[in-house]
């Protein structure tokens, strides 16, 4: 338990998503940005100057600082587990970008190490904090859907060849994965959060347009333990630009579609006697966020601070972040074997 007024933060990785971390930390009264780290010296120095923090080139050195309580990890995905484990062993709480790791073995080791070291582990699935998603989740928890029948997670975005060429880790099997693991994982997390544990998975992936090792388009069907069916459509190939990230949830007495550029806008809201509520919701919707990263980073960091201060559980603890990872690895396994994959996934194909 930490009783400090302000918790000290270190941000590891100063690339595209990192400003969402540093700017959120600076905006939160209970947080203090202490240090940033990148193996590219100019990036570490530019970030340090811009956000008034100490620059580090080696995260091991950053981890030695006593004034850092929480580290956020925004490095290439294949390095998350190793850095998270080192941070936990140094006594730091860990808030890691999605995917928490590239394999279940690493995910399990990260979860175990954090538990053994007595630190919190949170995974950044910031879309759980979108207003529209919070409304959907509240309706689901109140049982308003009745029996859940099916749902769909659709991501129709564009990541052009320059996007993949900007860093050697992008689109690779060991460091990034394809559109499922990088872009669609947020929406797969939401689908499984709404419809519950998955029993089996069937899917196809393809590298249709981009010159990358992993997939730029994929489709999959999930069978949930409660009998509901889930559909996943994931594409980074949409011409000419990002079109939508949409989550559909359907049940006996409810239909909700949350769309927009990043699951941020309620498009369908149907429950018995919900006309007035629907008009109210539609009248107070947020605009599309400026980027597909959305608005949720600040809230997920605030949630992590609360978990640390109150010895609580982060909104997306490691065990929860692992679930979307497992589903995606099962789709990859299915693509390799041509067979439906039952969960739990015992074999980790990335090993
Ligand atoms: N939550 C979201 O919506 C969201 C959005 C984008 C990216 N991400 C995730 O964030 C991570 C980073 O993505 P990005 O687009 O910012 O990548 P990026 O390539 O732009 O940035 C990664 C940075 O990490 C640095 N780095 C690499 N190894 C390091 C190490 N050992 N120590 C310190 N720094 C190191 C690189 O030099 C680079 O500057 C990925 O895992 C990605 O999946 C999440």
CATH architecture, domain defined by 128-289+326-337: 2-Layer Sandwich (3.30)
CB count, 10 Å around CB of 147? 12
pLDDT per residue over 120-162, tens digit each?
Answer: 999 999 999 999 999 999 999 999 999 999 999 999 999 999 9
**CA 315 to ligand 1 centroid distance, Å:** 22
Q: Is the pLDDT of residue 348 over 80?
A: no
Instruction: Give me the chain's average pLDDT, please.
Output: 96
Q: Are residues 193 and 137 in contact, defined by beta-carbon separation less than 8 angstroms?
A: yes
What are the structural domain ranges in the chain?
Answer: 7-127+296-317, 128-289+326-337
Q: What is the mean pLDDT of residues 202-226?
A: 98
What are the residues whose beta carbons fall under 8 Å from the beta carbon of 43, sequence distance 6 or more? 14, 15
CA 213 to chain centre: 22
Q: Are residues 174 and 78 in contact, defined by beta-carbon separation less than 8 angstroms?
A: yes
Q: What end-to-end distance do the CA atoms of the chain give, in Å? A: 36
Q: What is the mean pLDDT of residues 174-192?
A: 98
Predicted pLDDT of residue 2: 54
Q: What is the mean pLDDT of residues 276-292?
A: 91
Predicted pLDDT of residue 347: 57
Rounded to whole angstroms, the Cα distance separating 166 from 31 reads 32
Q: Is the pLDDT of residue 351 over 80?
A: no
**CA 167 to ligand 1 centroid distance, Å:** 10
Common-topology check for domains 7-127+296-317 and 128-289+326-337: no
For ligand 1, what atom is nearest to the CA of residue 17?
16
Q: Are residues 104 and 326 in contact, defined by beta-carbon separation less than 8 angstroms?
A: yes
Q: Is the pLDDT of residue 227 over 80?
A: yes
CATH class of the domain defined by 7-127+296-317? alpha beta
Nearest partner of 53 among 29, 26, 76, judged by Cα = 26
What are the residues whose beta carbons fall under 8 Å from the beta carbon of 157, sequence distance 6 or more? 179, 183, 235, 236, 238, 242, 243, 245, 292
Task: Supply the pTM of this predicted model.
Answer: 0.97
**CA 148 to ligand 1 centroid distance, Å:** 36
Q: What is the mean pLDDT of residues 302-328?
A: 98
What are the residues whose beta carbons fall under 8 Å from the beta carbon of 136, sequence distance 6 or more? 194, 247, 249, 256, 258, 266
For ligand 1, what atom is nearest to the CA of residue 293?
3
Sign of the dihedral through C-alpha 332, 337, 342, 348:
negative
Q: Which residues line ligand 1 (CB under 6 A)?
A: 12-18, 37-40, 43, 59, 74-77, 79, 97-98, 124, 126, 167, 182, 293
Question: For a substitution probing ligand 1, which of 12, 16, 53 has the most ligand atoms within 8 Å of its CB?
Answer: 16
For ligand 1, what atom is nearest to the CA of residue 57?
33
Rounded to whole angstroms, the Cα distance separating 210 from 71 reads 34
Where residue 295 falls among pLDDT bands split at 50, 70, 90? confident
Rounded to whole angstroms, the Cα distance separating 168 from 208 reads 19
């Amino acid at each position: 338990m930490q009783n400090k007024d302000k918790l000290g933060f270190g941000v590891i990785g100063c690339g595209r998503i990192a400003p969402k971390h540093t700017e959120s930390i600076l905006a939160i009264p209970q947080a203090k940005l202490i240090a940033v780290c990148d193996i590219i010296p100019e990036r570490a120095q530019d970030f340090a100057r811009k956000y008034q923090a100490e620059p580090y080139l080696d995260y091991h050195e950053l981890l030695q600082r006593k004034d850092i309580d929480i580290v956020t990890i925004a490095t290439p995905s294949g390095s998350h587990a190793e850095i998270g484990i080192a941070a936990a062993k140094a006594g730091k709480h860990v808030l890691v970008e999605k995917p928490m790791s590239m394999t279940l073995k690493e995910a399990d080791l990260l979860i175990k190490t954090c538990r053994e070291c007595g630190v919190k582990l949170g995974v950044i699935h910031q879309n759980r904090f979108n207003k529209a998603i919070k409304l959907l989740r509240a309706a689901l928890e109140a049982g308003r859907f009745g029996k859940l029948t099916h749902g769909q997670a659709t991501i129709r975005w564009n990541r052009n060849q320059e996007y993949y060429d900007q860093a050697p880790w992008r689109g690779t099997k060991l460091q990034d994965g394809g559109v499922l693991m990088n872009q669609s994982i947020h929406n797969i997390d939401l689908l499984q959060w709404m419809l519950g544990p998955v029993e089996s998975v069937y899917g196809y992936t393809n590298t249709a347009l981009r010159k990358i090792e992993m997939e730029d388009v994929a489709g999959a069907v999930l069978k949930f333990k409660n009998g509901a069916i889930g559909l996943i459509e994931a594409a980074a190939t949409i011409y000419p630009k990002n079109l939508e990230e949409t989550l559909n949830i359907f049940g006996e007495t409810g239909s909700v579609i949350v769309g927009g550029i990043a699951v941020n806008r309620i498009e369908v809201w149907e429950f018995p006697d919900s006309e007035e509520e629907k008009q109210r919701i539609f009248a107070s919707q947020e605009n599309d966020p400026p980027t597909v990263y959305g608005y949720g980073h600040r809230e997920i960091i605030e949630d992590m601070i609360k978990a640390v201060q109150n010895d609580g559980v982060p909104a997306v603890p490691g065990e929860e972040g692992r679930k979307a990872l497992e589903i995606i690895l099962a789709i990859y396994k299915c693509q390799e074997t041509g067979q439906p994959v039952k969960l739990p996934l015992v074999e980790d194909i990335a090993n």
